[in-house]
Amino acid sequence: MVRFKVADICTSSAAYSQKEIDKAWEKFVCLGPSDEPVSKVRSSIFNSWQRCQSTGVDPSIRAAPKIASEGKLHQMRLKNKDLLACAESTIEQARMLLSDLETVLFITDRNALNLEIVGDPRTLEDAWGVGLMPGGGWLEIMSGSNAVGTAIANNMPTQVHGVEHFCEGFKPWSCTATCIYDPYDGQRLGAIDLSGLTKTFDRFHIPLVVSWANVIQAQLAMLNSERWSMVEQAVQADSRNNSRNDFLLLDSQGRFIRTNNTTSKAIQRYFPDFKPGSTFRIPMDRFGGEQTELTTLSADWLQEEWVHPIRNGKEGGEIVGFKINFPSHIRRSASKTTVSRDVSFGSGDSDNPNSALNPELSKEAAKAKTAAKTPLPILLLGETGCGKEYFAKAIHAETRNPDGPFIDLNCGSFSRDLLNSELFGHVEGAFTGAKKGGMIGKIEAANGGTLFLDEIGEMPLDIQPLFLRVLQEKQIYRVGDVKPRSVDFKLVAATNVDLKQAVAEGRFRKDLYYRISSVVVELKPLCERKAEIPQLVESILNRISEEHHLERKQVSADLLLKLTHFNWPGNIRELSNVLEFMAFMSDSEVLDVQHLPDEYQSEQLAQPLKLAASAGQPLSLEEAEKLAIESAIESTRNNLTQAAKQLGIAKSTLYQKIKKYDIAC
């Protein structure tokens, strides 16, 4: 687990004296190797100094080495063309924002090679003097402690200020960096850094570079999606790709898209190193794919006649992916492990944001679980932020095709024309700006799986009859096409508006409303589902830790009790935001009430409990559930009907829990 203490980083200027750090550095350099920590230096910096010393970095270095000639740099930029393309808007934004702020921004590859640098012209001149230029190398082993090299070494956002640098030449500088990860599997692609002379130091540069990294990663995710759509379209259009044997679809980088036999057992039949539930890559450079330094599965045994390149457009076009057709006689060692679903109703998995949606706890969840097995559309009603998308994923996991695609689309996020194209796709030349080769729509992409349409009440009136026709005939026409395409998917729609009222006002078609509302599931606000909060807290903290490479936080009994008693007008989204703030801004391993944002500190508990010795210590889910039930019973003065309502569970379930935990009432 990556350990990341934001507070430790952000307080480097306020809590640590530059003069004392400089004295500690002189002592460290002069006395030679030592395992004794220096109290005046942040632990992350001291650990970096030790790595530099152990690898023989010269502390008198005045500038970073230039490790790439112009020719080599050109090759590395081509190799990282996707990263640079997706960083282009961020680079341009930084170019304007930093033009007079005495600061520069640069992007590196995964090995800390500087690929591009922009910013204040005067600062750029100073930066050139310390090797901060395209082609410069910033790994710790080359340039000592610095934001990029140390961020890569620690795999977390890093700020190195002034004399915290190990090498003398960089001590006049302050730098902040974070890694950029492939959204497909989280492997490091590069890093982004914001640097300036020490007077420009700002602890809030950390959230800024993290935000920019997130923007770049979102652009990479969109690029992946577009290319995968191209692969899918090419496969569907070319009858030569049809095969009854097992096959895998990969993109040009060897990233797995899908297979026609989507079980872990089937994949492990060919790749024994594959771990169930994980993403994976296969090296495809010997078949014309892109070379990669990232972790891949062993595939030396693949034969060329099994591999069919998929090209963009006509014969001889750029390779965008591969289809591997396995001959029927090929069988590799199979595993007994079966596929693990991402989400489910009541699985009890604390890593799962929907594990709290247990049929035992909610009649609506039980209804949705039953309806998931049928071909009936499901309409989710609920306030903004109450977890409609999470619930939809849980429904998908319970359908007859849980391994099929889950495709989501927010109908309120697009103009009329864009929504039409997003839903139905288009053929090449269908309109000005149409993509070359056309585009597969969300409906077609959901074939064999689940289509989740959020904010369906925002669907324009003139598109509604077209979508109704799809539901009735199970066929679509891409924009500009005359050939129908068959589709079969599970529809889950969601809205936070009164569709019946919209029908009465003529804003939504009555026939479409009755078509999509075969099963209506009403999601209560989080304040009426308090029994779910302990599990939600666990799953949200797991997600934060995994997505942001942070230390996994625990929660104290006092905090969990307080979180359970908040009203949460913003529902799950608000709870998630509060936990993210606490996870980033606290350097404690156990989150407590004092770590809450200021505006939540004054919130009072409905009926505070007197907690025993467990106060201030992390709780298990069972302990948290017991506390929540005891609190509800106490606050309702032993009225079990009201207590069950407050907890958002059935009264029969409450009786079972009381018996399970031996609660006196």
508 phi, psi to nearest 5 deg: -145, 135
Beta strands in 419-487 (DSSP E): 425-426, 439-440, 450-454, 475-476, 485-486
Q: Do residue 201 and residue 253 come from a single domain?
A: no
Give pLDDT, residue 382. 86
CATH of the domain at 123: 3.30.450.40
- Predicted pLDDT at 347: 34
Question: Domain for residue 434, yes or no?
Answer: yes
- Residue for token pair 């006509």: 314
**Sequence-separated (6 or more) residues with CB below 8 Å from residue 104:** 98, 117, 118, 119, 120, 123, 124, 127, 132, 194, 195, 196
- The verdict on 464 and 562 lying in the same domain is no
- Based on the fold, state whether residues 388 and 458 are members of the same structural domain: yes
Same domain for 517 and 540, yes or no, is: no
End-to-end CA distance of the chain: 42
Dihedral, 489, 490, 491, 492 alpha carbons, nearest 10: -140
Lookup result for tokens 């003069």: 19
Domain assignment present for 102 = yes
For residue 503, being part of any structural domain is answered with: yes
Could you list the residue range(s) of the whole structural domain that residue 573 is in?
A: 527-661
Q: In Å, what is the CA distance from 185 to each residue of 217, 281, 497, 505, 513?
A: 11, 9, 36, 46, 39
CA–CA separation, 55 and 432 (whole Å): 58
Backbone angles phi, psi at 189, to 5 degrees: -105, -30
495 plus 536 within the same structural domain: no
Same-domain check for residues 469 and 482 = yes
| Domain termination residue (choose one: 193, 211, 229) | 211
Claim to verify: residue 168 and residue 40 sit in the same structural domain: yes
Question: Is residue 127 located within the same domain as residue 19?
Answer: yes
- Domain assignment of residue 611, yes or no: yes
Backbone torsion region of residue 121, taken as left when φ is above 0, otherwise alpha when ψ lies between -120 and 50, otherwise beta: alpha
Which of 138, 179, 145 lies closest to 162, judged by CA?
145
Taking a C-beta distance cutoff of 8 angstroms, is the pair 108, 191 a contact?
yes
* Count of the separate structural domains present in the chain: 4
Give the type of residue at 138.
Answer: W
Same domain, 551 and 624: yes
In this structure, the answer to whether residues 31 and 162 fall within a common structural domain is yes
Q: What is the mean pLDDT of each run of 10 residues along the chain (665 residues)?
A: 38 66 87 64 90 89 90 92 93 86 93 93 89 93 94 92 93 94 91 91 84 92 86 70 70 86 67 77 88 83 84 76 75 32 36 41 76 91 82 88 88 81 80 67 90 91 92 88 87 91 91 91 82 82 81 84 82 87 86 86 47 46 74 75 74 75 76
CA dist., res. 135 & res. 70, Å (int): 8
164-191 as b/e: b if 16+ CB within 10 A: bbbbbbbbebbbbbbbbbbbbeebbbbb
Structure tokens at 158: 């890093």
The overall pTM is greater than 0.75: no
**Whether residue 456 is found in the same domain as residue 482:** yes
- The confidence score (pLDDT) of residue 652 equals 65
What's the CATH number where 375 sits? 3.40.50.300
Dihedrals phi, psi of 294, to nearest 5 degrees: -80, 165
Q: Are residues 401 and 415 in the same domain?
A: yes
Report DSSP letters for 580-602, one per residue. Answer: HHHHHH---SEE-GGGS-HHHHT
> What pLDDT, on the 0 to 100 scale, is given for residue 118?
92
Backbone angles phi, psi at 323, to 5 degrees: -120, 125
CA–CA gap between residue 496 and residue 513 (Å, rounded): 14
* 655 belongs to a structural domain: yes
Q: Which residue has the tokens 């590069």?
A: 190
Residue by residue, DSSP assigns 108-149 as EETT-BEEEEEE-HHHHHHHHHTT-STTBB--HHHH-S-HHH
The answer as to whether 346 is a domain residue is no
Q: How far apart are CA 196 and CA 174, in angstroms?
A: 6
Distant-in-sequence, close-in-space partners of 382: CB < 8 Å, separation ≥ 6: 388, 494, 496, 522, 523, 524, 525
219 located within any domain: no
The CATH number of whichever domain residue 642 belongs to comes to 1.10.8.60
Specify if 50 maps to a domain.
yes
